[in-house]
Structure 1
Amino acid sequence: MTDDRPNDAPPPRAQRRRSKRSATLDRQSNGDVEACAPMPARPMAAPREIAIFDREALLRQLELVYGRSYMFDDEVELGLPQPSLSSEEQLRLDKLRWLADDERGPLRPLLFGSQVMRDRLAQARLACPNFATVVDLIDRAVALSIVTGTALAIPPILLLGPPGIGKTHASKAIAAALGTAVQAISCATNSDCQQLVCGHPTSWRGARMGVVNEALLGADTAQPVLLLDEIDKFESHRDEQPYHVLLTVFEPQNSSAIMDDYLRVPFNLSQIIIVATANDADRLPQFIQDRLLMVEIAPPLGAELLSITCRVVTDAIAQTGGAVASPGEEVIARLARAHPRQIKRIVQLALGYAAGAGRCQLTVADVEAAERLAVGSGKREPIGFLQARG
């Protein structure tokens, strides 16, 4: 076929593209690498949410129960036959269906640092002055999240100190500052670690899904705070090794897919924030100590104790609806001599003494009378952190 184009006509568009590509290749062969330098790779955006359970595994479990695919709302609308199950298996099926029908699905948002978090942590630091070290540790993690644009990353923390110094209160204050839910579990009264983490199969009497997994499902984020209170007092069944079960939660490579033995569905616990409290670290196995960032909390003294006492008294006075005036410094100082766990009780009793005398303000005499009632009139060794001067 002849080309009827004039001699000075431009070549077709496709031919121009080929010519341009050929010129580029020629420049490459001549060492002109600047013209074809690769574009810098854009950094991958950090994921904003993760799946907290395996939805495909969930649907497989439903398919095994039904012997066919689960049809969600169509199960009722189409009048599809339902499996005949024992009461235990029916309860399990109800839980599987509830999870499958949850409109939120498996995805939950991660926590990202913000200035609001830092402001709330600053308030928590003032309210819990003897926990400044751990609050500052959390604050630095929040700051790092802000700078890097990545999700909040906090290692498992152990708050170590004597009873009554506010470890549980501080843990809940930190969770509130981060804007996430807190699941508090008393290890001292727990008798079934397997139930706590993994649940039990339906062959067990009273079987249910794991407590931690339920807490994760109930939270609004993939990063609730798991508070393991008095972890050094963990007692379980004779043949169970509770700390070995907990080990799976502390190890990220294992906690990302922990099988719930009740639902037979893997859960991702790798992003939960773990805060444990203990009075005696020596009671913990070494392999647990090695996986916890231990922060020793000293008993509050002096100004710290007065600050804590003021907070407790202020909260108690607020519950009176303004009927009682704030106490003076003498009353606060006298209350600070009591054990922190008993201050709230003493204040409540002292308010009764004041009301009985027709007064709307606490006195030192009210506090002393309330303390005798609270701790008994028998002679005891001093229980407070501040000692009365002779």
Structure 2
Amino acid sequence: MSQLQSLRGMVDLLPVQTRRWQAVEAVARTHFRCAGIEEIRTPLLEVTDLFARGIGEGTDVVGKEMYSFRDRGDRSCTLRPEGTASVVRSVVQHGLLSQGSQKLWYCGPMFRYERPQAGRQRQFHQIGVEWLGVGSARSDAEVIALAWDLLRDLGVSGLELQINSLGTIDDRQRYRAELVAWLQARADRLDPDSQQRLTTNPLRILDSKNPATQQLLAEAPTLLDALSEESSQRFQAVQAYLAQMEIPFRLNTRLVRGLDYYGHTAFEITSDQLGAQATVCGGGRYDGLVQQLGGPATPAVGWALGMERLLLVLEAAAAADPEGAAACLAATRAPDVYLVNRGEQAEAVALVLARQLRAAGVCIELDGSGSAFGKQFKRADRCGARWAAVIGDEEAAEARFLLKPLHNKGEERCLAMADWQMVIDILACDESDITTATQFDQQ
């Protein structure tokens, strides 16, 4: 019988990746809590019309990449390809906007049928932030700062913030007409995909990865030149706020993002940690989406970062700086105590002791091999535990255990089973000594 494999583009998260994943989420949760942002969880499966209306039927996501099917009720359903439309649908459906502006974040899997590659899978994961009911230029800068600070604290280096303004609908329509006329005069120099987009979604040509098209676009008119005075002033205000917070940025007049609902500020944050500039976070303002999905006219802004790409960046950062924040993020926490035990009676008593200490918050590694004490002690040394608790049948018969220091200074103690809580005090003193010694060394 052949061995079963996961579907192409659907990747298992093994314990070592999951550990780093959880560490990223923990840092993100801290940032979001400090910013007053609450978590929202939406279904993986939505009606297809949500994304057709929200993302745009002319986009590659809707036209080529969605996992859609008809269910037993003959409804067209889609595995969500992104998070924003689902969050907006939920906010509108449950009337959350009647309670005031909503500052929300989400984390979870998304699905797009595209060619798998490093950092990009068919089931991929995002952490995203959506602020609904805020329309100021300052809120744009605040949301960008949140993403910038999160990536910096995670240990991502070589960050670059690229920003652009997509203006209002009128600005884009005016620019679209100018761009189409300019491109039609040079259509024979466009790649096939861009030639097709010329009649469906010409602004997406600006995001083409084709080198020849990119070279041609260097001479094309820019959207910034087509902005109204009001849109231009708004974008200048965003830049001023970023400068005041000392967040460096670069204007990228060809940055349009891949989804139709964006307007005004659009941005991407890249890192050179992988050798070339790789986008790790992107977003912008989408003031028309809430109304487009059946809600009241509501300003909104948000971003999403791709976890798979971010994890690759963090792995590179950890390799480049073994003492840096990214390396510490992925480090395995050593157990506080390694419980060495051998003998039928000892193993039963060790199980009780391990349970008591774990309930008190002590990290315990219980050796279950039954091998010789020498081999168990070697494993205790390798795992990095600070202490070993030792129980043999003799100790079990006398209702006691030995607590031996492993890698740090300390004295061996013999404790009664009834006095197991003393282990917590000993560990606390040990931690205090380590902290004090570290602070002394730093001075």
Give the TM bin, normalised by the shorter chain.
under 0.3
Query: Which protein has the bigger strand share?
Result: 2
Q: Which one has a bigger Cα radius of gyration? A: 1
Give the TM-score of the pair, scaled to structure 1: 0.19
Give the TM-score of the pair, scaled to structure 2: 0.18
